[in-house]
Amino acid sequence: MLRAHLVEDVRRAEAAAMARLPDGALMQRAAAGLAAAVLDLLGSAYGSRVLLLVGPGDNGGDALWAGARLAGRGVAVEALLLADRVHEAGLAALVAAGGRATRDLDDLHDAPDLLVDGIVGIGGRPGLRAEAVAALEAYVDVPVVAVDVPSGVDVDTGRLDGPHVRAALTVTFGTHKVAHLVDPASLAVGALHLVDLDLDELGEPAVEALQPDDVRALLPRPGLDAQKYTRGVVGVRAGSDTYPGAALLAVSGANAGLVGMVRYVGPEHVADTVRTAHPEVVGAGRVQAWVVGPGGGDDAATMLAEASQDGVPVVVDADALAHVDEAGADWILTPHAGELAAMLGVERDAVEAAPLRHAREASGRWGCTVLLKGHHTLVAAPDGRVRVTTTGVPWLATAGAGDVLSGVVGALLAAGLEPYDAASVGSWLHGAAATQAAAGGPLTASRVAVHVPQVVRETLAGLG
């Protein structure tokens, strides 16, 4: 599991580690890891030029100490000091190693190969000062390695408020921070590298992200004595005269092999199309979970009312979301930002600016799991836990992808996973299937469903 902690937890754990380690040891570990990552990216030390952007705190200290190590390896290192006072020992080490420091942007030599953003770290407030913005603008085409976090983002929430660094690589220390995983800040992180500081006592993570091993442990798999009914039956109530295709897509997600049987309930001619495409699918009957809403149109309210009567878990998606009054504790709501905004009575922009807060709020308000779709989909449980999905590709932003997701999640729910696990594992599989289907290019939603079994196969085999 990849875990991200709040700044206060990082500070507490760092203080405990510092109490048992020699002075400055943690910063030296951080700087060594940072310098190694920068060298990796540069390829070779000699002939390379690096510019450190140095702010007032220990984040700047990390950059300066790493700069000293890089200078010692033959990199031409300059530091632009963006504060009246910077980390003294770090600055002295840089200069002693042959690096050069200035406070004047015009005093810098040729354009560097890399910028190291040591402006602010976990002590930073959102936004950047004018001098930092000017430095970044002077080198817009130069890739940036962010120290700990891209400066300017709101570390604990992932919100953006004002200018911020856009990194090609972020080298973080001890544990991940919320902004690394949660949109919109996660879009500014680039590749993410964790330098281990051996921190204990970090406590519960604020958010976490499933890794292939976690998914493997959670995936339902048939026992030797499995029968179709013991593996779970998922029912899909989706599609209408206006949107018959959504039923097909939701069924294709549900019918990716994760349950023993799939039922479809909907308009007769849509059911014909579903059975033609998926001959395994049967009609009404007992289910262990319902998927309700994709393409439901005007029928969505009736679909939801009928599904709720069974007293089994329900995945509520698309048109059905507008009809959620009271939700069962074992339900999963799967809105995108616009749908969640309508449910909460706020603007879509507000949800997009603070998806973590709104997913948590919705989960609390309806007392059930909420899966908020986005670049990094969030799954919030009513007890406060949040998982974020880091699989997937931008090509997945395509019509019908959400319908497939609801089917996959419903299948996992019917197979017996807890709602929080079903939603997060389903979203992980959906993203991984999209990456595989896209193979570096475009994809369609139907192809995502086709790739789910292969992703499951590879994950079970430990190839993920």
Give the residue ranges of the annotated binding site for AMP.
373-377, 402
| Cβ at position 202, least distance to ligand NAX in Å | 14
The contacts of residue 271 (CB under 8 Å, 6+ apart) are 264, 265, 283
Q: Binding site for (6S)-NADPHX, residues? A: 58-62, 148, 246, 295, 336, 403
Instruction: List the structure tokens of 234.
Output: 């998922």
In the complex with K ion, the residue whose CB is nearer, 151 or 427, is 151
Number of residues that bind K ion (CB under 5 A): 4
The window from 26-34, 137-145, 229-237, 385-393 that contacts ligand NAX (CB under 6 A) reads 26-34
CA 176 to chain centre: 12
Element (H, E) at 38: helix 25-42
Helix (H, G, I), strand (E, B) or coil at 184: coil
How far apart CA 125 and CA 143 sit, in angstroms, is 23
Least CB distance to K ion at residue 297 (A): 48
The only residue of 3, 12, 16, 18 in contact with ligand NAX, by rule CB under 6 A: 18
Nearer to ligand NAX, 150 or 245 (CB): 150
- Reference 289, options 328, 329, 236; nearest CA is 236
User: Rounded to an integer, what is the distance from CA 305 to the centroid of its chain?
Assistant: 33
**How many angstroms separate the Cα of 318 from the Cα of each of 162, 372, 394?**
33, 12, 20
Q: Which of residues 105-134 bind ligand NAX (CB under 6 A)?
A: 120-125, 127-129
Window of 141-149, 292-300, 388-396, 423-431 that interacts with K ion by CB under 5 A? 141-149
Q: What are phi and psi of 455, to 5 degrees?
A: -65, -40
Closest approach of ligand NAX to the CB of residue 55, in Å: 5
Q: What is the arrangement of strands in the sheet containing 76-81, beginning at the earlier edge strand?
A: 100-102, 76-81, 49-54, 114-118, 144-147, 169-173, 191-195
**Site stretch for K ion (CB under 5 A), options 150-158, 253-261, 378-386, 447-455:** 150-158
- Measured at the alpha carbon of residue 323, what is the angle toward residues 322 and 325, in degrees to the nearest 5? 115
CB of 35 to ligand NAX, least distance (A): 12
- Nearest distance from C-beta of residue 353 to ligand NAX, angstroms: 18
Closest CA to 395 of 335, 438, 431: 438
> Residue 33 interacts with ligand NAX (CB under 6 A)?
no
Binding positions for ligand NAX, 324-353, rule CB under 6 A: none
Q: What CA–CA distances, in Å, run from 227 to 230, 413, 422, 446?
A: 5, 17, 21, 28
Residues belonging to the chain: 464
Measured CA to CA, the distance from residue 403 to residue 317 in angstroms comes to 8
For residue 151, state whether it binds K ion (rule: CB under 5 A): yes
- With tokens 């995945």, the residue in question is 315
Can residue 62 be called a binding residue for ligand NAX (CB under 6 A)? yes
The torsion of the CA quartet 72, 77, 81, 86, rounded to 10 degrees, works out to: -10
Based on the shown chain and the rule CB under 6 A, indicate whether residue 9 belongs to the binding site for ligand NAX: no
Q: Kindly tell me which of 144 and 455 has the beta carbon lying closer to K ion.
A: 144
Select from K ion, ligand NAX, none the partner in contact with residue 103, using the beta carbon and a kind-dependent cut-off of 5 to 8 Å. none
Q: Among 2, 4, 6, 27, which residue interacts with ligand NAX (rule: CB under 6 A)?
A: 27
Smallest separation, CB 31 to ligand NAX (Å): 7
Residue 59 binds to ligand NAX (criterion: CB under 6 A)? yes
Instruction: Decide whether 123 or 212 has the Cβ nearer to ligand NAX.
Output: 123
For ligand NAX, which residue of 2, 6, 30, 438 counts as binding (CB under 6 A)?
Answer: 30
Q: How far is the CB of 152 from ligand NAX (least distance, A)?
A: 6
Q: How far is the CB of 375 from ligand NAX (least distance, A)?
A: 24
Of the residues 148, 156, 183, 317, which one makes contact with ligand NAX according to CB under 6 A? 148
CB atoms within 10 A of CB 100: 15
Number of residues this chain uses to bind ligand NAX (CB under 6 A): 24
């048109």: which residue's tokens? 319
Q: Where are the beta strands (DSSP E) in 214-331?
A: 233-237, 261-265, 289-292, 314-317
Q: Is 172 in the site for K ion (CB under 5 A)?
A: no
The smaller minimum CB distance to ligand NAX, of residues 62 and 183, is found at: 62
How far apart CA 436 and CA 458 sit, in angstroms, is: 11
Shortest Å, Cβ 163 to ligand NAX: 9
Binding-site residues from annotation for K(+)? 59, 117, 151
Q: How far is residue 137's CA from residue 131's CA, in Å, rounded to a whole number?
A: 10
For ligand NAX, the closer CB: 200 or 225: 200
Residue 163 contact, options K ion, ligand NAX, none, Cβ 5-8 Å cut-off depending on partner type: none
Binding stretches for K ion (CB under 5 A): 117, 146-147, 151
Binding stretches for ligand NAX (CB under 6 A): 14, 18, 26-27, 30, 55-60, 62, 120-125, 127-129, 147-148, 173
